[in-house]
Structure formats: structure tokens, C-alpha cells
């Protein structure tokens, strides 16, 4: 197996996390939806229900994937796949892979995002399709996604085994690890349809924006108006997703695409966890039209936008630094940097630059601080009556702290003494002065 796969967690952790993902996450998604939509967002209410009705009660609340749910998912997926394939976009080169390949993409994400939202709002405005149908079938949709994505991941495994798209693929010799972490780094259908761009960006991230708008419309149709709390939440989530698509070609240089293979971990996460858990603060607000007042709403909005901007600027700074070969100014000054070299899996020696000033001089993963803070600010409109809307913030904190460790381990084994030097210059992993 390539060194890529040796850098993720040990087999023991893989088995434990796979088992828990498979057994705990699907019921969690259903319970989260049930609690938000039918139990007033109260974990206590759901717990009492489950205590009273036991396993049968839980089976009763698990919606079956209906024909309507499958139709909605199929139309959405087909629409997004068509936009990905046919909308025009600039030719973009991805980073060189461990096996020495350079993936080529068509950067049409922002156009696909605009077309998606305009079409969705247009369908509603002209009375062709009412987004409240999506909200009313949300449980069935999540249920269908849970099963459908699992089957999709089996397809990915088989494809990796019999028809890999590039030399960036291979087996660990362990079927469970292969299924969980993936077989291929850049799976494609034909030459142009990139599966990870589809699952992560066009299906997963796009669903976040589509559902945020859906929740807003549902509240409007239920109460005849949209509360300021819902507005702040929706605007912040849309700013975040807009930023994502604005910078989508940059995302193709990040760990998700350039290092993590297409397996259950990442694809199931993007196709099930993103639409359900990531959008959950908005799901809660539909039935809780909290009124914040103009002043508080504006404070939260501005704080949230600032965090999203800083997060964007961290990513931009790193990529601009690499793109210009360390020549771009960082915070108005010549950047401080480390010239690192490393050996690829094929034994070639390559060089790379590590930025040690600007955001990347504060801590080694400072960009996670504004990422987590932004999530906190778009949840804050839910105030503090219930814990559940904050689940995403807690989950994201755990995810990113784990990711920072994974990334540090990977970079340490890639860059060796150069990474050690970076750690000496920038000793904190995430929070400057603390961790």
C-alpha cells in the first residue's frame, strides 16, 4: 500500500471508528432529525420517548425511504452531475499526487452553485416545486441517503479494485480498511467526471446551501415571516458555502481531496453527515422563530462574517504563498519560510515551501479557530434553550482537533527534520499560546 494509507490511524482505531460510524451515525442522524423536527429540539423529550417505547419506538420513528425521497435525491444528484459535466469553467491543475500524477479539473463550482440556487428559488417562486416538500420528507430523505450512500461506497470499493482511474490507488490487503479509507485517490467516471468533486462539493456542500434555503422557506410558509434568528443563520451559512464555492479550486489542494482516498469515511460523511448534521442548527430554527432584535442580530452576523473571512484568508494566504513560490507578501512583508524537501513514493526528491509567518506563524492550524467560531456564530441565533443545535460545533471541534493531529503526523513523516524545524518556530498546533 502507498505511504498515504499508512498515515491515517492504526488498524485498531480504524476498526473502532468504522464500527462506531456504521452502528452509531445512521441512528444518530435519524434521532437528530426526529428531535429537531418532532421533539422541539429537546434531547430530554426524545430520551423519555425512547425510555417509554424502547427499541420498537425507535424503529417506529425511523422513516422508510419513500419513492418521493428517492425521486428528490435522484433529481438533485442528476442535476448536479449535469452541471459539473457541462457548465463551462477554467482548466485547473491539482497538486502532484504521491504517485506523481497531476489531476485536471474544470473549475465551474461557483457557476454550478449560482445555477442551483437560482433554479431552486425559481422553482419555488413560479410554483413549480415547493421546497417545503423537501422539509416535509426530510426524515425519509436522510434514511434513503443512509442506505444509498452505503451502496455507493461499495461501488467505490469495487471500482477501485477492478477499474482504478489512476495509479494513485491500491489495496492495503485488508478489505475493511480499503472500504473505510478508500482505494482510489482520484476516482473518475470516464475522463472528466471526478467522483470526489461530485460527492464532496456538488452533492455534499451544495446540499448544505439548498437545505439552508429550504429551512428558511419552510419557516416563511409556516409562520408567514422569517425571524431575524433564521435570517442570520441562513445568511451566515450561505456566506460560508459561497466562500467554499468561490475557493473550490483551492479546496482541491486540501487534505480531503489531495490526501484522503474516496472511501466510506469521506464519501459517506459528505453525502449523509453534511446534509443532516452540518445543516442542523437551521433545522432547529424552523420551529423556533426566536426574535433577536436588530442590534444582537447584526452583532452576530458581523462576528460570523469576520470569522468566515479570516478562515478564507488563512487558506488564501497559504495557497498564494505556494502559487507564487514564496514571493507573495504576507501581511505586507516578505514571508518567513522553510525550504523543505521530501521523497515521493516513487523515490523522487521534491521540494516544498512552508510558510512560517502570517496566519501560519500564529499556530500550525490556526485556520481551524475561525472555522469553529463561525459555526458557533451561526448557531448562536438558536440561543441556549437546548444543547442539540450546538452539536455541530462540538462535533466540528473534535473533528478538527483530530484532523490537526492527523495532518501533523502526515507532515512529520513527509518532511522529517523540516517539519521539526517548523514546530520549533511555530510551537502551537491550533490555539496560539494554549495548544
Residues in touch with ligand NDP (CB under 6 A): 254-256, 311, 315, 318, 352, 354-355, 360, 367-368, 371, 396, 399, 403, 407, 411, 414
Torsion region of 122: left, alpha or beta (phi above 0 gives left; psi -120 to 50 gives alpha): alpha
**Cell 428528490, residue?**
72
Residue closer to ligand NDP, measured from CB, 106 or 318: 318
Least distance (Å) between residue 32 CB and ligand NDP = 16
Residue closer to ligand NDP, measured from CB, 174 or 319: 319
Least distance (Å) between residue 3 CB and ligand NDP = 12
Residue closer to ligand NDP, measured from CB, 159 or 414: 414
Residue closer to ligand NDP, measured from CB, 108 or 357: 357
Least distance (Å) between residue 251 CB and ligand NDP = 7
Q: What is the DSSP letter of 330?
A: B
**Residue 52 CA: distances (Å) to CA of 56, 173, 361:** 10, 46, 54
Least distance (Å) between residue 378 CB and ligand NDP = 12
- Distance between CA 264 and CA 153 in Å, rounded? 6
Least distance (Å) between residue 213 CB and ligand NDP = 19
**Cell 437546548, residue?**
386
Contacts 24+ apart (CB under 8 A), 321-329: 321/353, 321/355, 321/358, 321/360, 322/352, 322/353, 325/353, 326/353, 326/355
Residue closer to ligand NDP, measured from CB, 38 or 412: 412
Least distance (Å) between residue 317 CB and ligand NDP = 9
- Distance between CA 332 and CA 48 in Å, rounded? 58
Least distance (Å) between residue 282 CB and ligand NDP = 15
DSSP 155-217: HHHHHHHH--SSSSB---S-HHHHHHH-SBSS-EETTTEEHHIIIIIIIIIHHHHHHHHHHHH
Phi, psi of 343 (to 5 degrees): -110, 130
Residue closer to ligand NDP, measured from CB, 71 or 323: 323
Where helices occur in 39-66 by DSSP H, the ranges are: 43-61
CA dihedral 234, 238, 241, 247 (to 10 degrees): -150
Least distance (Å) between residue 364 CB and ligand NDP = 6
Residue closer to ligand NDP, measured from CB, 143 or 311: 311
How many distinct helices (H) and strands (E) make up the chain? 20, 6
Q: Closest residue to ligand NDP, Cβ-based? A: 254
Torsion region of 159: left, alpha or beta (phi above 0 gives left; psi -120 to 50 gives alpha): alpha
Return the C-alpha cell found at 366.
490556526
Least distance (Å) between residue 396 CB and ligand NDP = 6
- Distance between CA 23 and CA 20 in Å, rounded? 5
Residue closer to ligand NDP, measured from CB, 155 or 246: 246
Residue closer to ligand NDP, measured from CB, 136 or 256: 256
Amino acid at each position: 500500500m502507498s505511504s498515504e494509507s499508512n498515515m491515517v490511524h492504526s488498524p485498531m482505531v480504524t476498526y473502532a471508528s468504522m464500527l462506531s460510524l456504521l452502528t452509531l451515525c445512521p441512528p444518530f442522524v435519524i434521532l437528530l432529525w426526529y428531535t429537531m423536527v418532532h421533539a422541539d429540539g429537546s434531547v430530554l423529550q426524545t430520551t423519555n420517548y425512547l425510555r417509554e417505547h424502547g427499541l420498537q419506538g425507535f424503529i417506529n420513528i425511523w422513516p422508510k425511504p419513500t419513492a418521493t425521497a428517492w425521486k428528490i435525491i435522484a433529481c438533485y444528484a442528476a442535476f448536479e452531475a449535469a452541471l459539473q459535466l457541462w457548465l463551462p469553467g477554467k482548466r485547473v491543475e491539482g497538486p502532484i499526487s504521491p504517485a506523481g500524477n497531476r489531476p485536471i479539473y474544470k473549475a465551474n463550482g461557483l457557476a454550478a452553485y449560482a445555477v442551483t440556487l437560482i433554479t431552486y428559488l425559481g422553482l419555488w417562486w413560479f410554483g413549480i416545486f415547493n421546497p417545503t416538500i423537501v422539509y416535509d420528507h426530510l426524515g425519509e430523505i436522510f434514511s434513503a441517503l443512509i442506505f444509498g450512500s452505503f451502496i455507493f461506497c461499495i461501488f467505490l470499493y469495487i471500482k477501485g479494485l477492478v477499474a482504478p482511474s489512476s495509479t494513485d490507488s491500491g489495496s492495503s490487503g485488508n478489505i475493511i480498511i480499503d472500504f473505510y479509507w478508500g482505494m482510489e485517490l482520484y476516482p473518475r467516471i470516464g475522463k472528466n467526471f471526478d467522483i470526489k468533486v461530485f460527492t464532496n462539493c456538488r452533492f455534499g456542500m451544495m446540499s448544505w446551501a439548498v437545505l439552508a434555503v429550504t429551512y428558511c422557506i419552510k419557516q416563511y410558509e409556516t409562520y408567514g415571516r422569517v425571524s431575524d434568528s433564521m435570517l442570520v443563520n441562513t445568511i451566515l451559512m450561505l456566506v460560508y458555502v459561497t466562500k467554499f464555492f468561490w475557493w473550490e479550486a483551492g479546496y482541491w489542494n486540501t487534505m480531503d481531496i489531495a490526501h484522503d482516498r474516496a472511501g466510506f469515511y469521506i464519501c459517506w460523511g459528505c453525502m449523509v453527515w453534511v446534509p443532516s448534521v452540518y445543516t442542523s442548527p437551521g433545522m432547529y430554527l424552523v420551529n423556533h422563530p426566536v426574535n433577536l432584535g436588530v442590534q444582537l442580530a447584526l452583532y452576530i452576523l458581523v462576528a460570523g462574517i469576520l470569522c468566515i473571512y479570516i478562515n478564507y484568508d488563512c487558506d488564501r494566504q497559504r495557497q498564494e504563498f505556494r502559487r507564487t513560490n514564496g514571493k507573495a507578501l504576507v501581511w505586507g512583508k516578505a514571508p518567513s519560510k522553510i525550504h523543505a524537501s521530501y521523497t515521493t513514493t516513487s523515490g523522487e526528491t521534491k521540494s516544498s515551501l512552508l510558510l512560517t509567518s502570517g496566519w501560519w506563524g500564529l499556530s500550525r492550524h490556526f485556520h481551524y479557530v475561525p472555522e469553529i467560531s463561525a459555526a458557533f456564530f451561526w448557531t448562536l441565533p438558536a440561543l441556549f434553550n437546548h444543547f442539540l443545535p450546538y452539536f455541530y460545533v462540538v462535533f466540528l471541534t473534535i473533528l478538527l482537533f483530530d484532523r490537526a493531529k492527523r495532518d501533523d503526523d502526515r507532515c512529520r513523516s513527509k518532511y522529517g527534520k523540516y517539519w521539526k524545524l517548523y514546530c520549533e518556530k511555530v510551537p502551537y498546533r491550533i490555539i496560539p499560546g494554549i495548544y
